[in-house]
């Protein structure tokens, strides 16, 4: 089953896992040490992130290392960029309004 990327990153634990493996590839056990949850729960989160292609599992000997799929994160960033422009424009307008109100008060 193909999962929705935004549904996957809506979960705070999965976002924390993404932040961890953004720095370096990690095994599920190493990831689990950062959370107050079971190893099985971390594995479920990793499975969801893998299904969304946000992380990739690489076999190294007997261990599996999970690493961030940067290209998928870029896709999310590109989608968010359209909203970032809108927000920045609105913040600029708000700054102008507040500056105008401040000068009128004096």
- pLDDT tens digit sequence for 1-32: 567 888 889 999 999 999 999 999 999 999 99
- Look at residue 49 in the predicted model and tell me its pLDDT: 95
Nearest to 60 by CA among 15, 30, 22, 23: 30
Supply the CATH number for residue 61's domain.
Answer: 1.10.10.10
Question: How sure is the predictor about 36, in pLDDT bands with cuts at 50, 70 and 90?
Answer: very high
**CB-count exposure of residue 32 (10 Å: 0-12, 13-18, 19+):** buried
Dihedral sign for Cα atoms in the order 12, 60, 40, 29: negative
36 φ, ψ (degrees, to nearest 5): -95, 65
Q: Find tokens 């292609």 and name the residue.
A: 53
Q: What is the pTM of this model?
A: 0.75
Are residues 64 and 74 both part of a single domain? no
Q: Does 105 score more than 80 pLDDT?
A: no
For residues 105 and 88, the model is more confident at: 88
Task: Tell me the residue range of the domain where 77 lies.
Answer: 70-106
């Amino acid at each position: 089953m193909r999962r929705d990327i935004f549904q996957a990153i809506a979960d705070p634990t999965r976002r924390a896992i993404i932040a961890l493996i953004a720095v370096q590839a990690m095994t599920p056990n190493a990831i689990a040490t950062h959370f107050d949850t079971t190893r099985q729960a971390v594995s479920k989160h990793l499975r969801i992130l893998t299904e969304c292609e946000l992380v990739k599992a690489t076999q190294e000997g007997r261990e599996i290392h999970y690493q961030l799929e940067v290209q998928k994160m870029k896709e999310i960033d590109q989608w968010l960029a359209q909203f970032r422009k809108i927000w920045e424009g609105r913040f600029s307008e708000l700054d102008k309004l507040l500056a105008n109100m401040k000068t009128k008060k004096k």
